[in-house]
Chains A and B, each alone.
Chain A
Amino acid sequence: MPNMNMVQALNSAMDIMLTRDPSVVVLGEDVGYFGGVFRVTESLQKKHGAHRVLDTPIAEGGIVGAAVGMCANGLRPIAEIQFADYIYPAYDQIVSEVARLRYRSAGAFSAPLTIRTPCGGGIRGGQTHSQSPEAVFAHVSGIKTVMPSNPYDAKGMLIAAIEDDDPVIFFEPKRVYNGPFDGEPDKPAQSWAEHPKAEVPEGYYTVPIGQAAVTREGSALTIVTYGTMVQVSLAAAEALGLDAEVIDIRSMVPLDIDTIAASVSKTGRCLIAHEATRFAGFGAELSASIQEHCFWNLEAPIMRVAGWDTPYPHAFEWEYFPGKRRVMNALRRLMGEAA
């Protein structure tokens, strides 16, 4: 099986869908000739043509609005927003149009649109190239919101998103595009090459949206996480020698609460880890849902580790990022006397 990093896996997913389904088109800033600023759409225009892989004006609201119209005329667009930090000019189209089109037209119209966008920090991008805004989309009814953490899931989930008849916002944690990251920036960058999740089938397959993955089985506690924080969480638990069960939720909407609740009911302890700001972040929804399902099995309060509630500061990237040490401290507090 070929080895792919996340960029190659995503590229392969789009290549396959452009080949299989003539209604699939790709549009976004610099995605055509140049192949995208992160090279995710490399060679797609050359292979599939400038009428199916479109360079667009710099207008995120225009990209999403035009994609909605394409949907209404039978296409299945994949729109790239170059950085999640640039998605806000499209927010009205996403919230008021994309998310509600099916509902308000009683199913007469819909928007089978995939919006791909790189998110998260760890690349010294400062406050305008580092954000993780998944919660502001998960909060809106009518759009699926997902974030893969590794190449295998990235490809399978992107194909599933493209085939989904509902709109999907597909967040790509850019720090792990080229390799897994355990949260220690001073260590040399790792590549996906040796990682089992980088073994990616060349052809078509899907990873269903709405299913969490048990990344590591364990009995002492559950870490519920996603995106860049999956590997950081694994590394932190390992450093403490804790037999943690690590759940990569993969999909925020719809949320696989059954898998999460089964794990927390088993372990009795839960840490939620995400890179986005903490206050009213997706961790708040997770925490509330978990306690509703698992209250009588909990042995400690559900805890959260997250980005601080500030913009992402350029100079203090690694003081901001919820790295291995912060996760370890949270795990110690969670385990209390049991640690």
Chain B
Amino acid sequence: MTSRLHVPAVPARPGEQPDFSYVKVAAAGDAPRPPINVPVLGTAPLAEDLVRVLDDRHRAVGPWAPKLDAETLRRGLHTMMLTRAFDDRMQRAQRQGRITFYMRSLGEEAVSAAAAIALRDGDMLFPSYRNQGLFLSRGLSLVDLMSQLLSNSHDMCKGRQLPVMYHSAERRIFSISGNLATQFPQAVGWAMAAAIKGETDIAAAWLGEGSTAEADFHHALTFAKVYKAPAVLNVVNNQWAISTFQGYAGGEQRSFAARGPGMGIAGLRVDGNDFLAVYAVTAWAAERARAGHGATLIEHVTYRAGAHSTSDDPARYRPKDEFDAWPLGDPVERLKSHLVTLGEWDDARHESLSKELDESVTGAWHEAVSYGTLNEGPRLDPSLMFEDVFKELPPHLLAQRDELLAELAERGESDHA
């Protein structure tokens, strides 16, 4: 016998039939809901299972069904629809050459929208680059977000960051990094600090399933276990990391949530396209953390319906119609149908909200563009690039700034807004 290298099998490549037979879809309402102080290993079955609340007839069923009023559900729907309208417009803006880069969250809007409602405003969020719903749910203005995308004179990052790398200290959302998984141990550290200081706020972080391969993911789980850090750690398993299928992150015949109990913290696996289920498991994990029972690793099973970013074409590495075959559906449609079933929503209202959101996105875009784009209109002062390297500008950077200003004056471009 000789050994043979195992290469994870990709279910379907371009030209092949989509195949999601590996996604075992449990019936809604089946998963038990343990008390929030259940010992870590008591969550092990739930880390392999799939918590689902919305059934095929759009009703909320089972022990995880949260008691949310219609107003809150409509708020969640609003955030998801706004996220989608915003993403759609910004994707087009990138195609038109107005912004350099964009990343949509199409198909996984519930992950951010439901969590933002389940957490408290004081809780600190450590997002990945595909959690725009957190910013929208916490009330950041479209104009502020768009201005960051445009690197314009109103840009919160002062022109220094690639588009989508937002932050908001006021709304307690940490600065997004372009490097992967770095936010995970940082969230645990924030939570440790909250515990050191005796506060009630907790931390929450998100990363993609591909990023769980990075060492920082494992550092986070180790520290969370050792210090029982009050944190909610989310793996957004959207099946694809650019061109590599989740099997390449170790997901083949294995749940990501199971790494929680494996490392000594609670683990839950949830239907990430079920708004109510995401809300319920996040609320459970937040309450557990706040009560001093430690962190939870939540795996959100969802699907990245769009490209990784505006820089790649998914038709090169997966079947074009894969999203149509995705067994967990579209999170927006599912919450909409639930509200309709409750008699709290209808097609006309949906249509009208959709139109209203498109208009507000378009209105915000016009305002944002009036603050400039990379190529037109008001621009940030280029000498800003030397600030915030350190708190105080050191002499060598002062000298470099002066050299740049002289160079720009020579170019006749020194009169930037």
Residues of chain A having any CB pair with chain B under 8 Å: 29-30, 33-34, 37, 50-51, 54-62, 85-86, 88-89, 124-129, 278-279, 308-311, 313-316, 319-320, 325-326, 329
Contact = CB atoms under 8 A, between A and B. Distances in A.
A310 B389 contact: yes
Given A33-B10, A313-B385, A314-B151, A124 B411 contact: no
B399 to A, nearest CB: 10
Contact of A126 (B162, B385, B397, B407): B162
B249 A308 contact: no
Interface stretch (B32-40, B46-54, B108-116, B309-317): B309-317
Nearest to B309: A37
Residue among A55, A126, A314, A329 facing the most chain B CB atoms (10 A cut-off): A314
Instruction: List 4 A-B pairs, minimum CB-CB distance, nearest first.
Output: A315-B159, A128-B178, A126-B162, A57-B213
Given A51-B7, A124-B101, A309-B396, A58 B160 contact: no
B156 interface: no
Nearest to B5: A51
B11 interface: no
Main secondary structure of the interface of A (DSSP, over half): loop
Interface string B260-300: 00000000000000000000000000000000000000000
B17 interface: no
Given A308-B386, A319-B404, A58 B180 contact: yes
B100 interface: yes
Interface string B380-414: 10101110010000001100100010011011000
A129 B396 CA distance: 25
Interface in B366-391: 374, 379-380, 382, 384-386, 389
A325 B410 contact: yes
Contacts of A51: 5, 7
Contacts, number: 127
A308 B385 contact: yes
Nearest to B400: A308
Contacts of B179: 85-86, 88, 128
Interface in B298-335: 311-312, 316-317
B316 A34 contact: yes
A70 to B, nearest CB: 11
A54 B8 CA distance: 10
Contacts of A316: 159, 380, 382, 384-385
Nearest to A124: B100
Given A55-B244, A124-B101, 7 more contacts: A30-B243, A56-B248, A57-B248, A86-B179, A126-B161, A319-B408, A329-B407
A188 B279 CA distance: 51
A124 B94 CA distance: 13
A314 B386 contact: no
B244 A30 contact: yes
A59 B160 contact: no
A74 B380 CA distance: 54
